[in-house]
Amino acid sequence: MDTVTLKIFRGNTSGGEMVSYTVPKTPGMVVLDAVHYIQRSLDTTLACRWNCKAAKCGSCSAEIDGTPRLMCKSRIEEYPSGEITVGPMRAFPLLKDLVTDVSWNYRVATKIPSLVPKPEVSGKPFVLQQEDVERVQEFRKCIECFLCQDVCHVIREHDKKDAFFGPRQMVRIAGLEMHPMDGINRREQLKNEAGIGMCNITKCCTEVCPEHIHITDNAIIPMKERVVDDYFDPITKILRKVGVLPTDKKASFSSVPNGLTVIKQENSSSKS
Amino acid sequence: MENCETYEYDILVIGSGGAGLRAVIAAREAGCSVGVLCKSLLGKAHTVMAEGGVAASLANMTNPDGTHEKDSWEVHFVDTMKGGAFLNNWRTVEIFAKEAPDRVLELEQYGAVFDRTPEGLIAERPFGGHKYRRLNHVGDRTGLEIIRTLQDKAVSVGMNVHMEITCTRLLKEGNRVVGAFGYYRESGKFVTFKAKAVVLATGGWGRMYRYTSNSWEGTGDGLMMAYEAGAELIDMEMIQFHPTGMIWPPGMRGILVTEGVRGEGGVLRNSKGERFMFDKKYMPALYNGQFADTEEEGARWLTDKQNNRRPPELLPRDVVARAIYREIEAGNGSEHGGVYLDVTHRGADYIKRKLPSMYEQFHALGGVDITKEPMEVYPTIHYTMGGVRVHPETCATTVDGLFAAGEVAAGLHGANRLGGNSLSDILVFGRRAGIAASSYAKEHTLGVLDNAQIEEEQEYLLLPLKTTNGENPYTIHSELQDAMQTNAMIARTEAGLLSALEKILELQKRAEKLSAPGDRFFNPGWHAARDVRFMLRASEVIVRCALERKESRGAQWRLDFPDRDDEVWGKKNLIASRNGDMVKITTRELDAMPPELKRLFEETK
Ligand SMILES: Cc1cc2nc3c(=O)[nH]c(=O)nc-3n(C[C@H](O)[C@H](O)[C@H](O)COP(=O)(O)OP(=O)(O)OC[C@H]3O[C@@H](n4cnc5c(N)ncnc54)[C@H](O)[C@@H]3O)c2cc1C
Ligand code: SF4
Ligand code: SF4
Ligand code: FES
């Protein structure tokens, strides 16, 4: 029978090793199929995440032959050598085997307020042309696989999780900042808390995005320009002051109440 | 007994799909503290996979003469009742059809960005069984838009999310549900929750079948927890076989091909190249005269919906799935044993714009360019119409303190669900469950957790880790899938169902002794051991109900009782409940529909 060899990282916080498994090949097989085969038939303790098996949920992120990819979208045939290595995402703390602790992504997401409609459209159906929403729709394709976060050197090599929200959240903020009906100014957050300045446009994030979102060109660069316009361009500033350019009518960021969210509350409050 | 952490909330929501998250928002707005649990990470529930759209009669679409389509809640009501072969609870459907438009518009305020019409309104597409264009959508990734929108909104109204916890038992004080027990997938540690009211939003169950569009989560935990707690289940025989799942390559079999493909003009053909849906033998009497008679009319309908009727590919799902099955039985199947779904005539640009994720799915996973070649499809197990019986207004189950909404609850869809109705279901009734649970919480205090129940569940869970010579849970699961796929599928017979039942009972016995090697730390084999037991019991209920209903209606197609029996079976739902270790099956007469609703069937003809 035709087989393929998977070398999979097995281990936990106290260490691990690559273990080889031989898996029978079927037509059109993807890496996730092979992992499932191992789980069912060879070792039921092999840990991985998955849900849709159709590249729609962003659960099965891993590093395949060193590249961050979705296991359910990586066909075995793409690796003709017959040997494939699969490891966990390395930018996040390892839990077990292919599973990492991605909760930081959710925690940082709580800092971004959701859409607050401008007062004049609040509570009314939006009237928007397709051209007006297309740009935002690109960003809303994000399936939160966090592969871009995994590959971004600011997070991966420099572990600046406290200073940079990462490309995923840049995409999220872009979807709000460029939403024609959003009523709050997000540039202050972008510049400070979200740390957009940390990105030096290497475009690695765009390369790995399974949804083909142009993270750098369409989200980060235009937002960098907006932030620069706002904060560093003295001429714009003066023109705004004297009323030649319109001032930004959007409410300031801090005026928006943000609810409390606690994710993974293990070992904390409200115990009885 | 092992000590475990306990969290306290006014409302505990089990499940963070659309129904759960919408309940969270409603409960927060009512001023309650809320905790929400999910088996996977936040945002990965089935809701994220929904493609085609959310059904609500916004009547945004225009005819060639510039008038708007005459859609209304009344037409949506009629379509849903007919689609469900009148087994639906009419009051549930009425509330649903009336409230769905507001729930969709509200999503826009929360941040959802739908596709637009030329007038700048939310774009709606045609779908099976819906008379007018009614599926509000974002390309073919509507579920992603909805779950992300609700997720962001729920985060901003504030909730405590406990991700990757599998809940395995509802905890009761007397007859009231007062909390829940579960384990952290990551650490394997146990955890308990205390709440004044519990909302069950755990979605559907398809994993007991071999080929399904459902994820690993769809093992019927919530359903069976409610059953164990004494709740009545209803319509459990009604399982939706979505007409178009992928069939090739083998690993992709069962993955959904959205009905949106047919909504956008996709046609079904057999191996002889015939558009078999035009064959009169597949047209149910109920829909006579309402669909295009000729392929030409079907083609004209694409551009002029006012003066032409829909092609029969847009009949309800149960009808189309049966037709596909019969074509294949008759020897007209495709290369890999399905039929062809062809949308190439819409042109590459249109397809990539309206069905981008289908294009990508077939391109990346199936090696097929759907702008150039037809897809091969076969019915896949997709949705569960049956579930926990709930009150139409409040979503209260038959157990005190327990509410249920979304796919786990039943009553709205009857014998067959129309596409798009689930996404609006989870919005309408997720909200209602949140509101009703909040009112309940305000009238009640926290209950007391019973250590005996907790201890019993702990032992039950730990057993496979201690058992060394038991069976592999995956083996049991796989045999169950074969039994259900062969004998409890789309075409059912008494003999087949009985042999499925026999197999299920055998597997239940064998599942008393399962082994899961390894420790408690993120151990899928151990998790599977609990999941498979939920599935075995749920399968038993499904098969017993399918045996009981001796007629063909909606998704229930009995080859030995091929006719619809309105006199006897059209008047009642099957109810399943727990009687000790036995499944008790009874019937419940449908409530009589009031005249003002009955009249709608005449008026909207
Ligand atoms: C591929 C696909 C395409 C679809 N397309 C459409 C469409 O176009 N239109 C439409 O209307 N409908 C569609 N549907 C159906 C629709 O998506 C679902 O019915 C709906 O999303 C169900 O929502 P829910 O909130 O009830 O449950 P789900 O979204 O399934 O969420 C269930 C939640 O419960 C949690 N849970 C389950 N068990 C436990 C447990 N034991 N402990 C803790 N948590 C638990 C899960 O983790 C999850 O968070 C589609 C379904 C699929 C699978
Ligand atoms: S372009 Fe910016 S965000 Fe993307 S990987 Fe490079 S540094 Fe990170
Ligand atoms: S932007 Fe792309 S790579 Fe990043 S999380 Fe979203 S889908 Fe994944
Ligand atoms: S399993 Fe959903 S993206 Fe891979």
Confidence of residue B251 (pLDDT cuts 50, 70, 90): confident
| Closest CB to A99 among B367, B516, B522 | B522
CA of A105 to the centre of ligand 3 (A): 12
Q: Which residues of A, range 138-197, sit inside 8 Å of B by Cβ?
A: 140-144, 175-176, 179
For residue B154, the cross-strand partners are none
Nearest CA to ligand 3 atom 3: A209
Q: What does DSSP say about strands B375-384 and A262-263: parallel, antiparallel, or unpaired? A: unpaired
Q: Across the interface, do B250 and A56 touch by the CB < 8 Å criterion?
A: no
Would you give the distance in Å from CA A193 to the centre of its chain?
Answer: 17
The structure tokens listed for B5 are 């952490």
Query: What ipTM was reported for this prediction?
Result: 0.94
Q: For residue B122, which phi and psi values (nearest 5 degrees)?
A: -70, 130
Cα atoms found within 13 Å of the Cα of residue B432, Cβ hemisphere only: 24
Please check whether the domain covering B451-566 is classified as CATH 1.20.58.100. Answer: yes
Q: Which of B261, B231, B233, B265 lies closest to B245, judged by CA?
A: B261
Q: Is the pLDDT of residue A256 over 70?
A: no
d(CA B119, CA A127): 8
Question: For B157-316, where are the E strands, in sequence order?
Answer: 160-162, 165-173, 176-184, 190-200, 233-234, 239-246, 267-269
User: What pLDDT shows up at residue B601?
Assistant: 94
Interaxial angle between packed helices B524-548 and B494-510, expressed in degrees from 0 to 180 and rounded to the nearest 10: 150
Q: Which of B534, B162, B231 lies closest to B402, judged by CA?
A: B231
- Which residues have CB under 8 Å from A105's CB, separation 6+? A144, A146, A149, A166, A168, A169
For residue B520, the cross-strand partners are none
Q: Are B358 and B342 in contact (CB under 8 A)?
A: no
User: What pLDDT shows up at residue A236?
Assistant: 63
Helix (H, G, I), strand (E, B) or coil at B256: strand
Kindly state if the Cβ of B45 falls inside 6 Å of ligand 1: yes
Q: Is the pLDDT of residue A232 over 90?
A: no
- Which residues have CB under 8 Å from B415's CB, separation 6+? B84, B85, B86, B87, B235, B238, B318, B385, B553, B554, B555, B556
Please provide the CATH number assigned to the domain covering A3-100: 3.10.20.30
Q: Is the pLDDT of residue A269 over 50?
A: no
Mean pLDDT of the region A142-160: 96
The number of the ligand nearest the C-alpha atom of A151 reads 2
d(CA A186, CA A222): 13
Q: Is the pLDDT of residue B163 over 60?
A: yes
Q: Are A73 and A62 in contact (CB under 8 A)?
A: no
- Which residues have CB under 8 Å from B410's CB, separation 6+? B233, B234, B235, B385, B386, B387, B388, B389, B390
Nearest CA to ligand 2 atom 7: A199
The structure tokens listed for B304 are 């002029």
The structure tokens listed for B36 are 């929400």
Q: In chain A, which segments carry CATH 3.10.20.30?
A: 3-100
Q: Which of B415, B396, B414, B413 lies closest to B405, judged by CA?
A: B396
CA distance B530 to chain A (A): 14
Q: Which of B416, B390, B415 lies closest to B403, judged by CA?
A: B390
Q: Which of A226, A57, A195, A33 lies closest to B44, judged by CA?
A: A57
The structure tokens listed for A241 are 């002051």
Q: In chain B, which segments carry CATH 3.90.700.10?
A: 242-379
Q: Across the interface, do A140 and B148 touch by the CB < 8 Å criterion?
A: yes
What pLDDT digit, counting tens, does each position of B254-300 carry?
Answer: 999 999 999 999 999 999 999 999 999 999 999 999 999 999 999 99
What pLDDT digit, counting tens, does each position of B444-468 carry?
Answer: 999 999 999 999 999 999 999 999 9
Q: Is B322 exposed, middle or buried (0-12, 13-18, 19+ CB in 10 A)?
A: buried
User: What pLDDT shows up at residue A245?
Assistant: 55
Contacts 24+ apart (CB under 8 A), B454-459: B454/B1, B454/B4, B454/B171, B454/B181, B454/B190, B454/B192, B455/B1, B457/B168, B457/B169, B457/B181, B458/B1, B458/B2, B458/B190
Give, in degrees to the nearest 5, the angle at Cα A143 between B189 and B370.
130
Question: For A25-100, where are the E strands, in sequence order?
Answer: 61-64, 67-70, 83-87, 94-96, 99-100
d(CA B358, CA B423): 19
The structure tokens listed for A231 are 């904060």
d(CA A164, CA A157): 13
* Nearest-10 Cα torsion for A23, A27, A28, A31: 0
Mean pLDDT of the region A175-181: 96
The DSSP symbol for B592 reads: P
Neighbour count for residue A132 (Cβ, 10 Å): 17
Mean pLDDT of the region A102-119: 94
Find the DSSP H helices in B564-604. Answer: 595-603
Confidence of residue A231 (pLDDT cuts 50, 70, 90): confident
Helix (H, G, I), strand (E, B) or coil at B381: strand
Q: Are B34 and B438 in contact (CB under 8 A)?
A: no
What pLDDT digit, counting tens, does each position of B484-526 carry?
Answer: 999 999 999 999 999 999 999 999 999 999 999 999 999 999 9
Query: Which residues of B belong to the active site?
Result: 242, 262
What pLDDT digit, counting tens, does each position of B314-353 carry?
Answer: 999 999 999 999 999 999 999 999 999 999 999 999 999 9
Nearest chain A residue to B103, by CA? A125
Q: For residue B412, which phi and psi values (nearest 5 degrees)?
A: -75, -40
Neighbour count for residue A214 (Cβ, 10 Å): 16
Please provide the CATH number assigned to the domain covering B242-379: 3.90.700.10
Q: Which of B534, B434, B540 lies closest to B169, judged by CA?
A: B534
User: What pLDDT shows up at residue A239?
Assistant: 64
Cα atoms found within 13 Å of the Cα of residue A166, Cβ hemisphere only: 30
Q: Are B310 and B301 in contact (CB under 8 A)?
A: yes
Lowest mean pLDDT among A230-244, B406-420, B573-587: A230-244
**Element containing residue B136 per DSSP (H, E):** strand B135-136
d(CA A85, CA A34): 12
Q: In chain A, which segments carry CATH 1.10.1060.10?
A: 103-260
User: What pLDDT shows up at residue B445?
Assistant: 97
d(CA B576, CA B423): 26
Domain A103-260's class? mainly alpha
Q: Are A138 and A86 in contact (CB under 8 A)?
A: no
Q: Is the pLDDT of residue A264 over 60?
A: no
Q: Which of B126, B109, B107, B110 lies closest to B55, judged by CA?
A: B126
Helix (H, G, I), strand (E, B) or coil at B492: strand
Residue to mutate among B117, B155, B468, B530, with most A CBs inside 10 A, is B155
In chain A, % helix, strand, coil (3-state, to 5) comes to 35, 15, 45
d(CA B478, CA B460): 22
d(CA B362, CA B601): 40
The number of the ligand nearest the C-alpha atom of A144 reads 3
Alpha-carbon distances, residue B435 vs B404, B442, B603 (angstroms): 12, 11, 34
Q: Which residues of A, range 83-112, sit inside 8 Å of B by Cβ?
A: 95-97, 99, 102-103, 106, 109-110, 112
d(CA B129, CA A166): 44
Which one has a higher pLDDT value, A272 or B567?
B567
For ligand 2, what atom is nearest to the CA of residue A155? Answer: 8
User: What pLDDT shows up at residue A229?
Assistant: 83
Mean pLDDT of the region A203-231: 94
Contacts 24+ apart (CB under 8 A), B447-453: B447/B173, B447/B176, B447/B178, B447/B179, B447/B194, B447/B196, B447/B401, B448/B173, B448/B178, B449/B6, B449/B171, B449/B173, B449/B178, B449/B179, B449/B192, B449/B194, B450/B171, B450/B172, B450/B173, B451/B1, B453/B169, B453/B171, B453/B172, B453/B181
d(CA B413, CA B396): 17
What pLDDT digit, counting tens, does each position of B204-236 carry?
Answer: 999 999 999 999 999 999 999 999 999 999 999
CA of A92 to the centre of ligand 4 (A): 18
Ligand 4 pocket: which of A60, A102, A209 to mutate (most atoms <8 Å of CB)?
A: A60
The structure tokens listed for A148 are 């871009």
* Nearest-10 Cα torsion for B293, B294, B299, B301: -20
Q: Across the interface, do A54 and B49 touch by the CB < 8 Å criterion?
A: yes
CA of B227 to the centre of ligand 4 (A): 31
CA of B204 to the centre of ligand 4 (A): 18
CA distance A264 to chain B (A): 5
Q: What does DSSP say about strands A83-87 and A3-12: parallel, antiparallel, or unpaired? A: parallel
User: What pLDDT shows up at residue B604?
Assistant: 66
What pLDDT digit, counting tens, does each position of A24-73 carry?
Answer: 999 999 999 999 999 999 999 999 999 999 999 999 999 999 999 999 99
Predicted model pTM? 0.95
